[in-house]
Amino acid sequence: MNLALLLPAGLAALAALLVPLLLHLARRHEQTPTDFAALRWLRQKPKPRHRIRFDEWPLLLLRLLLLALLALWLARPVLSGMDETRPWVVAVPGVDAAAVRAQATDADSRLHWLASGFPSFDEAAPAATPAIGSLLRQLDAELPPGTPLTVVVPATLQGADAERPVLSRAVTWTVVDGAMAAPAAPASPPPTLAVRHAAGNDTGLRYLRAAALAWQPATSTSSTLQVGTADEALPATTMPLAWLVPGPVPAAVVQWIAAGGTALLANDSTLDGFTAGTTPWRDADGAALVEAATRGKGRVLRFTRPLRADAMPELVEADFPQRLRALFDTPVASPRRVLATDYAPATGGATYPVAPRDLQPWLALLIVLLVLVERWMATRRIRGVAP
């Protein structure tokens, strides 16, 4: 074990040790000289020399100790070399608890969940899907180099990194029964759809209006639809645009798309150079309902049929709002799944020094206790009186 000081200049506070020494030297108890008449005629004798004398040694020593500990606290002491090497057994949430305890062959083994904060195995299993690779690297960096590590995992892992973890130590990788919960897809707020149509022609507008109304949460008062004619200003590129104007798409709209906007065109809108790259929406027979392509930084979608119920029955189906919203939602990365046997960590990673143990909290507690004792000794009624 090695004791080190992170701020040695704090020891300058040891100069405060002179304060209680001076106070005890200067302290005078209730000593009032009284002249006696019978003693006036006695021959004066030489007065004895005064000696340095301290009253109440226990209280003085306690105060000196208190100030010394305070100076040590200011110097920020740390203790290294107390690395705990008890074996660690960590389990991925979802594995069989009995199988995990069976892996703890050493009675001194520490059982934890492989989750944020590494909670004890006696606590309930965390519900969130952990980032297994990231947590393994963190645990490998925090544990002392000589600590054995056993990881208990189910056959299939959810949320695995794209790279197999490389750790500084050999890990006992054990596959047992169990299954991890699939991570829930994050909920995204509904988009606000801007619609531009030709003046006097609102074909298909009522279907888009009904779909946008279905997106709006019951507790929300903001509208999810902005309607205007073709001559009105275009919205921000962060807002999807439904362009329901027949004929060539104006240059301003083309530039808006290239700058990063997403536009949904009517089937009779034409865009030079448009070549469908993907088909994000098909009918039950597999025929394309919406085609998509990229243009600059943006994206172009186009209906393949007129927005009429007789030409496109999907407009009146119950899932039309969800299918339309899916065209504008940001694609959510699918959960990364991997076989546990293929994700066993490799060795050869960097070894990290173990952080020393901070002694300031313990010193602070000791200082508080000594202050209470000092106050009790300084204020008790039966204190000794110096002659």
Give residue 233's Cα distance to chain centre: 42
Same domain assignment for residues 264 and 222: yes
Per-residue pLDDT at 387: 38
- Residue at 295 is within a domain: yes
Q: Does the structure show a pLDDT above 50 at 212?
A: yes
Q: Does the structure show a pLDDT above 90 at 1?
A: no
- Residue at 101 is within a domain: yes
- Residue at 37 is within a domain: no
Per-residue pLDDT at 268: 92
Hey, what amino acid is at 322? Q
- Residue 196 has which token pair? 């531009």
Q: How confident is the model at residue 27 (pLDDT cuts 50, 70, 90)?
A: low
**Whose CA is closest to 163, among 186, 129, 137, 130?**
137
Per-residue pLDDT at 160: 82
Same domain assignment for residues 115 and 228: no
What is the rounded average pLDDT of the residues 199-213?
A: 87
Per-residue pLDDT at 89: 93
Contact at 8 Å (CB) between 209 and 178?
no
Distance, in Å, from the CA atom of 262 to the CA atom of 267, rounded to the nearest integer, reads: 16
Contact at 8 Å (CB) between 377 and 205?
no
Phi and psi at 11, nearest 5°, equal -70, -10
SS3 label, residue 252: helix
Same domain assignment for residues 151 and 126: yes
What is the rounded average pLDDT of the residues 234-258?
A: 93
Block residue for tokens 């049929």: 305
Looking at the structure of the chain, the number of domains it has is: 3
Same domain assignment for residues 309 and 230: yes
Distance, in Å, from the CA atom of 323 to the CA atom of 23, rounded to the nearest integer, reads: 85
Same domain assignment for residues 317 and 202: yes
Same domain assignment for residues 179 and 268: no
Same domain assignment for residues 125 and 227: no
- Residue at 224 is within a domain: yes
Q: Does the structure show a pLDDT above 60 at 28?
A: no
Same domain assignment for residues 215 and 323: yes
Q: How confident is the model at residue 184 (pLDDT cuts 50, 70, 90)?
A: low
Same domain assignment for residues 163 and 71: no
Per-residue pLDDT at 55: 64
Q: How confident is the model at residue 386 (pLDDT cuts 50, 70, 90)?
A: very low
Per-residue pLDDT at 14: 80
Per-residue pLDDT at 43: 61
Q: Does the structure show a pLDDT above 80 at 94?
A: yes
- Residue 7 has which token pair? 């701020």
Per-residue pLDDT at 181: 75
- 136 membership: H or E segment, kind and range: helix 132-142
Position with higher pLDDT, 385 vs 366: 366
- 256 membership: H or E segment, kind and range: helix 251-258
Of 28-42, 199-213, 243-257, 275-289, the one with minimum mean pLDDT is 28-42
Position with higher pLDDT, 110 vs 79: 110
Distance, in Å, from the CA atom of 69 to the CA atom of 11, rounded to the nearest integer, reads: 10
- Residue 269 has which token pair? 């809108």
pLDDT tens digit sequence for 71-93 = 888 888 887 665 567 899 999 99
Q: Does the structure show a pLDDT above 60 at 320?
A: yes
Question: Which range among 49-63, 147-161, 344-358 has the greatest average pLDDT?
Answer: 147-161
Domain of residue 99: give its range: 88-184+337-347
For 20-146, list the strands marked E by DSSP.
Answer: 77-80, 88-91, 110-113
- Residue 3 has which token pair? 């004791």
Same domain assignment for residues 341 and 368: no
End-to-end CA distance of the chain: 48
Same domain assignment for residues 146 and 77: no
Hey, what amino acid is at 1? M
Q: Does the structure show a pLDDT above 50 at 129?
A: yes
Same domain assignment for residues 153 and 255: no
Question: Which range among 161-170, 305-314, 330-339 has the greatest average pLDDT?
Answer: 305-314
Distance, in Å, from the CA atom of 325 to the CA atom of 317, rounded to the nearest integer, reads: 14
What is the rounded average pLDDT of the residues 329-347?
A: 77
Per-residue pLDDT at 289: 94
Q: How far is CA 131 from CA 95, 119, 136, 186, 278, in A?
A: 16, 15, 9, 16, 32
Q: How confident is the model at residue 270 (pLDDT cuts 50, 70, 90)?
A: very high
Contact at 8 Å (CB) between 152 and 89?
yes
What rounded mean pLDDT belongs to the chain? 83
Go through 117-155 and write b for each residue having 16 or more CB atoms within 10 A of its CB, e for each that does not: ebeebeeeeeeebbbbbebbbebbbebeeebbbbbbbbe
Distance, in Å, from the CA atom of 280 to the CA atom of 327, rounded to the nearest integer, reads: 7
- Residue at 44 is within a domain: no
Fill in the DSSP letter of residue 306.
-
Contact at 8 Å (CB) between 151 and 174?
yes
Tell me the pairing of strands 298-303 and 288-295: antiparallel
- Residue at 386 is within a domain: no
Q: What number of residues does the chain have?
A: 387
- Residue at 128 is within a domain: yes
- Residue at 363 is within a domain: yes
Q: How confident is the model at residue 293 (pLDDT cuts 50, 70, 90)?
A: very high
Q: Which residues pair with 208 in a beta bridge?
A: none
